[in-house]
Amino acid sequence: MATALITHADGLDHVTPSGHPERVARLEHVLHALQDLDLTRVSAPEAADEDLLRCHPQSHLDRIAAAIPDQGLGQLDEDTWLSPGSMRAARRAAGGVIKAVDLVLAGEVRNAFCAMRPPGHHAEKETPMGFCLFGNVAVAAKYALAHHGLSRVAVVDFDVHHGNGTQDLLWDEPRTLFVGSHQMPLWPHSGSADQRGAHDTVLNLPLPPGSGGAEMRAAYAPALSRLRAYQPELILVSAGFDAHQDDPLANLNWSLDDFRWITDQICDVARECCQGRVVSTLEGGYDLAALAASARVHVERLLEAGA
């Protein structure tokens, strides 16, 4: 078995203004950090409308398409920018996670990491926001349910910002379990523990500013028990690395060992419950050195679990 790296050069064509934290250099640094690892490298395809429409209405796709500039930059909100290559990049970011699901469920690889941008976990049903256009992980979860006939798909999101988009897109879906840790208070100011989903399938783990690995591990202990009891057939991961102590956009104090630990825990559950099937995709992480180092330890642990 092996670990797949799903990526595409189109991810470099989603351009944001100078000084914007979600920039082309993020993907460049991640890919450089992974270049010497023994990964099965796969090109990310564009997601089809059919797959995006399981999560977003046609009006959402139309709004983004209409806002793509012919040249220069366009803007959807204060934080979310578009360039001429943004639609292709966003479709490949979602399509890459779908491709990874196909590879993992076919047994061609044990697990996969999708290194693409823009990220996705803030995109709600009808609202692109927080640097995100499409709900990449939620799109892949609904694809796994519809196309592969799964009945239990788990999503684990350890980005420092709450995955409000994933929560929104899966809120009414009884065949998924969403587990998300995040700093609170922090943008987008959602993700309290009492937000539990229409079918009690949302488990939020808010963490206080200034907390570190000890608090994170304590919060995840009951969540991992819940995850095991759920017996997922596939685990999807929103891998944000902005909880790192050096990240400029938040105030958690995770170290590389903490990202290593949470990756190991997810892989342990996957090994026990679903033949090691894990599909991870890049979300946040805005200090370039910390992002690159964190992504590398994450993928190294996927490689070890997939061996």
User: Do 198 and 172 form a contact (C-beta atoms < 8 A)?
Assistant: yes
182 closest CA partner among 112, 71, 284, 301: 284
Helix runs in the chain, H state only: 24-34, 49-52, 58-67, 86-105, 136-148, 164-170, 213-230, 256-273, 288-306
Q: Residue 39's Cα: distance from chain center in Å?
A: 19
Q: At what angle do helices 256-273 and 288-306 cross, to 10 degrees?
A: 30
122 catalytic, yes or no?
A: yes
User: Do 5 and 34 form a contact (C-beta atoms < 8 A)?
Assistant: yes
DSSP 202: E
Could you tell me the two tokens for 160? 């420092």
Give the active site residue among 8, 14, 122, 182.
122
- For the annotated catalytic residues, the residue numbers are 122
